[in-house]
Structure 1
């Protein structure tokens, strides 16, 4: 059973930490059950003053952001810091305000997820011929905050090698602009989003957590810390990896993520709730009349002006509707349309607006505005599967199932699976095995280009080659993860070690089949179409099994229940994984930042080729997959995008992309409510901030 002494020590440390935190907690009802949602009327909340309805939308805005997910809300917050700039966010999902317990409590991601209902897009893939013919589910958050409101909350950054590989893919067109996406600047952008708090002493001791505070931001909007409680068996993770020859990473956030570690998560340590783009960047803002958020509304297409400027079309308006049967309305845009609909939504909107492959647009009866063959191409995703064992140890799942008072406490419910490791190809395959595998991959390049590219367009083919070569010649020989290992303990009586493919050689595509935004696009990642992915995934699962047979982990594991002893040969493993692997929920690359000559969709300034004022800023722009979870880098993308856009339009410099103090006021959930300035740098009236602070204090007093 869990240790009473450990619980007491943890609670004492928690009490000390909460008293030391200088930020007001995000308001949640003191009596709220962590296991069921409660009506917003039973909670004192400060509803956003930014919400509008279709009847109160202004005629025009400087910026219209399509998508109020992770990146969209970051951009909305940062762009509206300029008081003279008007911003509209259009989000297809609801606010999430009616289900705070489901969103705010970290462990709800396992036990009370809002996925599967109206807060989930409920996508699925096309039948995957190399994955058992299955239509694999692709859940995505359909709510303000997007998937940051429903995900597993890991804050795992890419490595320096991967980010610089991205930069090298785009630098041939504009080396100066590409510098924005090199490691130094992108590292600073990721840090800018973060407000890091070290782990509680007892939690650090139990798990063996290592960190370097200099690699983290200290005044950003998104809280990054560790759970208030760590299940004791997690302490076996790093010693087991060490025994297997996988050393512990000193700090995975600093550009080198090889080895084992316990990463921080997006948790607010003042009250052990989820910190996500809405709670971090929007909820704490003082009133901003220049920011409007229109929810439960779908962008149906971008409207372009009749005139063409410099060979590029110019967005003049955005159409939107609340349902497939409701009337379409239009709002004008003065400066830019920014797509932040994610890996699915952004390419879908572009194609619905007449930007994309001509054959796709013709089939969907959409008039071609800009023939851009790369839209929806180069789709990549992480695949994962796990080995499960029985155990008589207390897991998170066992404690949760006990329904004890502790199992319902905020401290326990802040726990999420976070014991992680990344192994490179040299470790996974051995030096000789890597040499042979590299020869196989490079030797299969021509046949892969001939048989696996989902387009006949020469630019898309060139892009496939560039991505393929980067994986083959930079990633495989490099000191970067090709497999992620995850310790999973949320099932009662079982422990799992999952293996996830990080750099697929398989690329797929996404495309519309009709002109309606309410018809889901076809999602075809072409899982396992390249046999190299099968090999890496197979070896990753074999490694997971070996770790389960390695001390000290082996001492707490019983019988292997999945896949079981019947799966032993390479053929057995390959057959099994093709029938059992599923997404790790990290799709990328459908609006790839690549040269147009290589099937790119956006340039290094995020502008869509062939347009003068349409940008994309979300996880769809990555040209390669990263050995990471995509939340942390996507916060970096949005912060960097805001800097690029504000630098273009404003005489005053945008807020600094650094981890140092920037003079921002810290809000109730730790959000950086930067000084709102007009175009000439004049500060807005302090009355809004003072009023908001008074209201916040009163709200917290009511909750005591």
Structure 2
């Protein structure tokens, strides 16, 4: 029997496995449905495009048809490999805004204000040269700042300069006190190697005799006895196995898998569980509700000079770049390809930014699976605090059947307004003097798209997830809360959830670093430590 079972080796699960097993007297088992992160694509910063195009290390989910998106289904990638989504994402280092976490605390989640979370953000990172009041050094996850504007690619340099010419300020550190403004990208790679949660947290702990990592292990359910989690059933190699837990079961499967496991275990809303022949164990109506996600749209711009990444994707160039990386960990694939971004306001009077923008040095559709063969770049943008909320519900008692994912994109009308305003800002930036030497014609939405109705039609036809879903096991004390402020599942003993699903509201940034922060904070809660 082990002390702690952790379900899911993603951004939070790897952190927990490291921190809980640091005590040699504690036995920890980490279960991961995916495989090992052995391919170089998981470690090469530019491997994210190949991973997305191949679907490798990915659950490859699809949403149900979305009325707000012309009844399109939406590709919904989630990591299925050691490191989870931190092994396949865009390596963006982002915390969001201090107000996001203060709002969590204001909703009754004591201990989750920004001041409470900041020590854990600092603990997990190594960012030399940052303001020590806000940034950490010596942590497991190395952070690299992309080159200063004078050393950037011409597109990224012109994009930041264009923002300044449009009247937006330059921000030297979006993970400092305020993210507002044009900025250089910060990414979690060092020396040409991705610092995923698996690389930064799990790899250093693998040699510990008290930590067991089991891959290819799909959890069927949490086993309950007299209202207490006593272990899990999981499938490996076609066989169902039982693993008992002496202290706790911790679900870190992520925003889709954690509510799925709870529902398969008979924990959730009866209407989601009993139709599949599963016996109810504990009524918690909020399980699988409150799904929130950043939905994104891209402004695509042709250019008249060969400044994009297009030539690097030609077969011979790709082979050369990969060889250079494998031999020397250098060259064009040793970086993520993201150099510049911004956090801006869609309208005056906002407390903090509600739009994120990324300068992408290539034009593509369908999550990079359809490269547009023209010289150009994109301003990918998303609303930071969407109001639309959706659901995750099991379709079957069979854990191999993907759950029904319904983000209900644009069910809140303001969400499409924010993206529309973001497209207008992107056009404003590209219209500045900094692009005069190589600005071509607009690829999309296109010069003919001038009215709000035109832009809305473009958004509905093309918007897609930016891979930041949260909230399906939300933290709180109201009737729809799934976990309390200590991340314990309400009404069930010895069972916690620790991943992005516990966020009561979506943050105004990317979710990888906040999820690792949750893992760090959860470990201290479990061990009875203070920040």
Q: Name the residue aligned to 1:37.
A: none
Tell me if the contact between 2:146 and 2:185 (Cα under 8 Å) persists in the aligned partners: no
Q: Name the residue aligned to 1:609.
A: 490
Which shows bigger deviation, 573-582 or 407-416?
A: 407-416
CA distance in 2 between partners of 1:608 and 1:286 (Å): 28
Q: Name the residue aligned to 2:233.
A: 319
Following superposition of structure 1 onto structure 2, how do residues 499-514 of structure 1 map, counting pairs within 5 Å?
A: 499-514=381-396
Tell me if the contact between 2:159 and 2:430 (Cα under 8 Å) persists in the aligned partners: no
Q: Name the residue aligned to 2:368.
A: none
Residue 359 of structure 2 aligns to a residue whose secondary structure is strand
CA distance in 1 between partners of 2:377 and 2:199 (Å): 32
Q: Does 1:191 align with 2:122?
A: yes
| Deviations 1:570-618 (CA, angstroms, capped at 9, x unpaired) | 0011111001000001001001112133x11110000011111110110
CA distance in 2 between partners of 1:291 and 1:304 (Å): 24
CA distance in 1 between partners of 2:26 and 2:484 (Å): 24
Tell me if the contact between 1:594 and 1:602 (Cα under 8 Å) persists in the aligned partners: yes
Q: Name the residue aligned to 2:369.
A: none
Q: How many residues of Structure 1 are paired with residues of Structure 2 in the alignment? A: 509
Tell me if the contact between 1:495 and 1:557 (Cα under 8 Å) persists in the aligned partners: no
Following superposition of structure 1 onto structure 2, how do residues 90-489 of structure 1 map, counting pairs within 5 Å?
A: 90-97=31-38, 99=39, 101-110=40-49, 112-113=50-51, 116-171=54-109, 178-179=110-111, 181-197=112-128, 212=131, 214-227=133-146, 230-269=152-191, 272-285=192-205, 287-305=207-225, 307=226, 313-322=227-236, 326-391=238-303, 392-401=305-314, 403=317, 408=324, 410-415=330-335, 416-424=337-345, 428-430=346-348, 477-478=350-351, 480-489=352-361
Q: Does 1:533 align with 2:415?
A: yes
Tell me if the contact between 1:239 and 1:552 (Cα under 8 Å) persists in the aligned partners: yes
Q: Name the residue aligned to 1:543.
A: 425
Residue 361 of structure 1 aligns to a residue whose secondary structure is helix
Q: Does 1:569 align with 2:454?
A: no
Residue 321 of structure 1 aligns to a residue whose secondary structure is strand
Q: Which runs of 5+ in 2 are unaligned?
A: 364-373
Residue 541 of structure 1 aligns to a residue whose secondary structure is helix
Residue 495 of structure 1 aligns to a residue whose secondary structure is strand
Root-mean-square deviation (CA, aligned residues, Å) is 1.9
Q: CA deviation at 1:366?
A: 1.2
CA distance in 2 between partners of 1:564 and 1:213 (Å): 45
| Deviations 1:232-285 (CA, angstroms, capped at 9, x unpaired) | 43222322111212111232112311111113101023xx11111111112123
Larger % of strand: which? 2
Q: CA deviation at 1:296?
A: 0.6
Tell me if the contact between 1:505 and 1:532 (Cα under 8 Å) persists in the aligned partners: yes
Tell me if the contact between 2:172 and 2:184 (Cα under 8 Å) persists in the aligned partners: no
Q: CA deviation at 1:90?
A: 0.7
Tell me if the contact between 2:51 and 2:57 (Cα under 8 Å) persists in the aligned partners: no
Tell me if the contact between 1:115 and 1:150 (Cα under 8 Å) persists in the aligned partners: no
CA distance in 1 between partners of 2:446 and 2:409 (Å): 24
CA distance in 1 between partners of 2:176 and 2:23 (Å): 31
Quickly say closer, same or farther: Cα 1:197–1:115, change in 2 above 3 A: farther
Q: CA deviation at 1:118?
A: 4.9
Residue 253 of structure 1 aligns to a residue whose secondary structure is coil
Residue 36 of structure 2 aligns to a residue whose secondary structure is coil
Larger % of helix: which? 1
| Deviations 1:655-675 (CA, angstroms, capped at 9, x unpaired) | x74xxxxxxxxxxxxxxxxxx
Residue 579 of structure 1 aligns to a residue whose secondary structure is helix
| Deviations 1:346-366 (CA, angstroms, capped at 9, x unpaired) | 000001001101111111221
**What TM-score do the two structures reach when normalised by structure 1?**
0.70
Residue 433 of structure 2 aligns to a residue whose secondary structure is coil
Residue 380 of structure 2 aligns to a residue whose secondary structure is strand
Quickly say closer, same or farther: Cα 1:288–1:126, change in 2 above 3 A: same
Q: Name the residue aligned to 2:380.
A: 498
CA distance in 2 between partners of 1:187 and 1:214 (Å): 9
CA distance in 2 between partners of 1:126 and 1:529 (Å): 14
Quickly say closer, same or farther: Cα 1:118–1:386, change in 2 above 3 A: closer
Following superposition of structure 1 onto structure 2, how do residues 64-103 of structure 1 map, counting pairs within 5 Å?
A: 64-97=5-38, 99=39, 101-103=40-42
| Deviations 1:624-644 (CA, angstroms, capped at 9, x unpaired) | 111111011111110000011
Q: CA deviation at 1:231?
A: 2.1
Following superposition of structure 1 onto structure 2, how do residues 677-692 of structure 1 map, counting pairs within 5 Å?
A: none
